[in-house]
């Protein structure tokens, strides 16, 4: 990813952060994803009075991309104060990216003028991600990028078994 595209990804996530709905935590987060088709999608955290129903910016951005036809993610940017994706977000990110997908964590100061960027790869953010292909749960398909993550053990075709009809 070149510097111009990286800056566009960061600015998209910053603008998304401005749309966050966070009346309880007052902790706005924005995210942007660059898809394999070179399209940008964004999301912001959306809180709920029932805290468990809150959805993080990363998952909103990924859902926006996937529901609009994206097949996978080439880069992810998260913007906030000390932004670090939660466990659920990390697993969703892993579902649609490769182990080498760049993750940009952009820490903005309280006045949003100063930023520091931490660059990681997906394998660093979630080093032992649950991989459904490696677990033998799914065959490779174009809807997810597990085809990029295939290991030698997972290259064997998944056997389909017939279900017996109940009498």
Q: What is the DSSP string of 93-110?
A: HHHTS-TT-EEEEEEE-T
In whole angstroms, what is the distance from residue 76 CA to residue 66 CA?
Answer: 14
Q: Which residues of 96-120 are buried (b: 16+ CB within 10 A; e: fewer)?
A: bbbbebbbbbbbbeeeeeeeeeeee
Q: Is 58 a catalytic residue?
A: yes
Which helix or strand (DSSP H or E) is residue 56 part of?
none
34: which strand partners?
40, 75
In whole angstroms, what is the distance from residue 1 CA to residue 163 CA?
Answer: 46
DSSP 128: T
- Choosing from 58, 95, 115, 134, the catalytic residue is 58
Q: Hey, which residues are catalytic here?
A: 58
């Amino acid at each position: 990813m070149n510097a111009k595209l990286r800056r566009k990804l960061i600015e998209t996530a910053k603008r998304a952060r401005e749309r966050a709905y966070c009346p309880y935590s007052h902790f706005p987060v924005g995210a942007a994803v660059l898809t394999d088709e070179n399209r940008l999608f964004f999301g912001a955290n959306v809180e709920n009075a029932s805290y468990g129903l809150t959805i993080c910016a990363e998952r909103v951005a990924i859902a926006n991309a996937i529901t609009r036809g994206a097949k996978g993610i080439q880069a992810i940017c998260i913007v906030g104060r000390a932004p670090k994706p939660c466990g659920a977000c990390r697993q969703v990110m892993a579902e649609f990216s490769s182990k080498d997908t760049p993750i940009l964590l952009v820490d903005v100061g309280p006045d949003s003028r100063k930023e520091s960027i931490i660059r990681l790869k997906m394998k660093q953010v979630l080093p032992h991600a649950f991989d459904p292909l490696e677990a033998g749960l799914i065959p490779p398909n174009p809807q997810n990028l597990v085809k990029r993550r295939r290991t030698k053990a997972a290259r064997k075709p998944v056997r389909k078994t017939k279900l017996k009809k109940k009498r």
